[in-house]
Amino acid sequence: MPINKKRIEESYDLQAENFKGAKQIAYLLIRDLQIPKNSVCLDIGCGDGLTTAALYEHCQKEGIIYGLDISQRMIDKAIINCRKLGYEDICFLKGDAESLNFPANMFDVVVSLYTFQFIPDKWKCLKEMYRVLKPGGYMCLFFPASEMFQKETFEIFRTVTQRHVEFTELNHILSEFGEMHITLEEFQDMLHDIGFTSLDFMGRHRVIYEKNTKNYLETNPYPFDLLLSIPDEYREKVKTNVIDKMLKLSDKRGFKLTFYNIMGHAQKPNI
């Protein structure tokens, strides 16, 4: 099932108030890059701007930094967050990763965290990243992959669809989430075929135990999106039932959540 880009935009507009970017993961992703002084950098799917701030700090608060997101409310929040940090020279723009409104060979670094999985045409997105990178520039990505990702949550919501066949939108989103994740091998093949070199990507398997299941449901983009698809009159009841199920499946550590992410970087070859 194709990813509904408009729905993703609307979902992140609604999540903007409580969204918190993964600044520490941004540091992890870019910490070993030797970024030239006064570089021009782009953060695709910048969210609330915290990952963009991490990129700006890694560049010694020099150069030109852009943050791009499909959600206008996320852009608005990113501007506010970076102003609070005193980073008023970061440029935030609403835009689409499949059609970057930048000239070719503009950026020394393009980064993107927790965004690539939502892009319908991943090949087109990677081609755009390649186009806007300078020769020798780096593309850095961190994104969920494979059907292992948060599988425990999806399984609970699938039981909801079995009891409520009328929740057609919930069923559609579950199918969409199941199909939008790619494998490390598929991703590496795309990069190679497009022309990227120095491929250094790996799978990162992680298991965490969530004790605050209510907060998780209300702030994590995946369950938030699933709950949003349920008609208003049923949503609170379904949320209560999902929390009850999570608690029953929990042990002393909390509710188990499996995460699998692809992370790393590649380079546009020097001409």
Enumerate the domain spans of the chain. Answer: 5-267
Q: Which helix (H) or strand (E) holds 132?
A: helix 122-132
Alpha-carbon gap, residue 54 to 56, rounded angstroms: 5
Among candidates 130, 142, 115, 119, which has minimal Cα distance to 27? 142
0.85 exceeded by the pTM? yes
The CATH superfamily assigned to 5-267 is Vaccinia Virus protein VP39 (3.40.50.150)
pLDDT at position 179 is 80
Give the span between the Cα atoms of 54 and 30, in whole angstroms. Answer: 9
Average pLDDT by consecutive 10-residue portion of the chain (271 residues)?
81 85 86 87 95 93 95 96 93 96 97 94 97 97 87 93 88 86 93 96 93 92 91 93 95 95 95 75
